[in-house]
Copies of this chain bind each other. A is one copy, B any other.
């Protein structure tokens, strides 16, 4: 399929605001600057890639107005965007959809409870198992080997990848993605302890609620809440990478981003617009306010009530942590220096 610049501009008027060069120039593939053909469109949002892109065989470049102003004479068509990266996202989404929609098809091997309500516009793939009173709404797509337990709901246009297990009573909103091999709504890790120090399972009667437009990676485990009215909740627009553990009764706000490998312990609440770096650890029963940015491998053991950037274990504001880290690396030689001082002062013994 060949897409012309005028077609692109018409489709994304707010993201392609100006065209320098031929509107009829066309592309068939979105490419990185260092691997192009003459059918490539290249999106450049950082100056360091600009030269490579200009020398490349690509015939169309999308970039910011400030970078575009650095470009001299060129045979390439230059498109100006106020948000180059978002323009790339939307170009790919609109013109190169990854997943073909197979609406209105239930694979003959899918086992769907007669008490389930599956929209005639939903897709249920091979070897899925759909329990009693499950609702699958229009445009929802369940790939192969997906199990959905009783009383759960999968919202419109939500895509569930292979081997996902959705536990009982889970409510998933519209336009979500739950990637392969993830578990949403499994039993929380709750035990009562007797006088011998032995552990007794607390059946987990609550549920998980995933709001609209949430993305959850592969290998995540999101446990349901303990009590019947309780919820583990992921807010609208939040994006969760692979290998993330979200324990029972956790509440996560809207439009957050969690990078891979993070563990969040039970009953913790996280605000809106937070960003959590990979491999972080967040203790249970704490509250983190809106707009907190945690660096990679942060360890959060107490409440955070002020927006800003934090990192480390012990957690510190980012600037303080960077200082601590720098001084820590110098600690051996610093200690030795002081020991020499004590010796020089003849005070080594007396302290």
Contacts and interface: CB of A to CB of B under 8 A. Distances in A.
A299 interface: yes
Contacts of A257: 191, 199
Contact of A129 (B144, B314, B340, B341): B144
A251 interface: no
A271 interface: no
A187 interface: yes
A166 B55 CA distance: 36
A279 interface: yes
A50 interface: no
Contacts of A326: 332
A296 B182 CA distance: 24
A53 interface: no
B279 A203 contact: no
Contact of A165 (B162, B198, B228): B162
Contact of A332 (B125, B247, B327): B327
A260 interface: yes
Nearest to A240: B189
Contacts of A320: 329, 332
Q: How many copies does the complex hold?
A: 3
Interface in A77-133: 83, 85-90, 92-93, 96-98, 109, 111, 125-127, 129
A147 B263 CA distance: 28
Given A183-B180, A217-B221, A200 B242 contact: no
A31 interface: yes
A284 to B, nearest CB: 9
A60 to B, nearest CB: 14
A279 B281 contact: yes
Contact of A229 (B31, B168, B243, B334): B31
Contacts of A109: 111
Given A242-B245, A334-B335, A165 B191 contact: no
A278 B162 CA distance: 28
A205 interface: yes
Interface residues of A, number: 118
Interface residue SS majority, chain A: loop
A218 B186 contact: yes
B324 A255 contact: no
A114 B102 CA distance: 18
A194 interface: yes
B296 A281 contact: yes
B86 A200 contact: yes
In the complex, which of the residues A125, A147, A215 has the most CB atoms of chain B within 10 Å of its own CB atom?
A147
Given A31-B228, A228-B31, A197 B255 contact: yes
Given A192-B86, A227-B31, A331 B342 contact: no
Contacts of A29: 228-229
A335 B325 contact: no
B221 A98 contact: no
28 contacts: A29-B229, A30-B227, A83-B194, A89-B190, A89-B201, A92-B202, A92-B203, A93-B203, A96-B228, A98-B168, A125-B129, A127-B129, A181-B182, A181-B183, A186-B242, A189-B242, A191-B257, A199-B257, A221-B260, A241-B247, A242-B245, A245-B278, A260-B265, A263-B278, A283-B296, A314-B328, A320-B332, A331-B331
Going nearest first, the 3 A-B pairs with the smallest beta carbon separation are A86-B192, A261-B263, A165-B180
